[in-house]
Chain A
C-alpha cells in the first residue's frame, strides 16, 4: 500500500517537473524561466526524498541538502544577472 502511494507521489512530481519544463522552454520572459528552474530544483529535491524512502536508505539526505543550497545560489545568480547584468561586482557602490 505505502509503496503504491510513494510511486504515485513520484509520478505526480514528474508531472510537475514536466509542466515546469514547459514554462522553461516557452516562458515569454527571463524571470519566468528563472522561477521555473527554481521550481524544478525543489521538485527534484522532493523526488530524491521519496526515492530514498523507497530504497530504504539514508545515503541521499546530504544530496537533498546540497541540491537545496545549489538551487538557492543558482536562483540568486540568475536574478542578479537579470536585474543588473553583472553577477559578481568588483567594488561596493555604497
Chain B
C-alpha cells in the first residue's frame, strides 16, 4: 500500500532549514551565551534524524553521502589536533589562544582556537548520534 505523506514531507523541507540554522547559531553562540559544541551538534543531529523520519535511508544518503563514522573520527582528530598543536609553541597540552583580526567587511573580530575544538566536539556528536540511530533502525 502506498502511503501519501505529502504534508509531513513539505513541513520537513521547511523545518529542517530552521533546525540546522538553530544548530549553527548555538554552535557559534557558545562562547558568550548558552550553547556550544555539544548542544549545537545534538540539534544538527536531530535535524538529520527528522530527514530520516520523513524520507528513508536511501534517499537521504543520495543527498548526503557521508559515512557518519568518518565524521565522528574527523571530529576527534580536530579536537585532539588543537590540543597537540599547542605543543609546537612551547605551551602545555590543550592550551588555547585567541586574537583580534581585522576582517575586510565585518571589521575587528575575535577568533580563538577554542572554536576549532568545539567544532571537533560538534562533529563527533553528530557522527555518533546519527550512527546510533542508523544502527538501531536496521532490522535485517
Contact = CB atoms under 8 A, between A and B. Distances in A.
Interaction A to B: yes
Nearest to B52: A88
Interface in A64-78: 65-66, 69-70, 72-73, 76-77
A92 interface: yes
A83 B133 CA distance: 20
Nearest to A89: B56
Nearest to A69: B19
Q: How large is the interface on B (under 10, 10 to 19, 20 to 34, 35 or more residues)?
A: 20 to 34
A8 interface: no
Contacts, number: 62
A83 B139 CA distance: 18
Interface in A36-92: 59, 62-63, 65-66, 69-70, 72-73, 76-77, 80, 83-84, 86-92
Interface string A9-23: 000000000000000
B85 interface: no
B22 A88 contact: no
Interface of A: 59, 62-63, 65-66, 69-70, 72-73, 76-77, 80, 83-84, 86-94
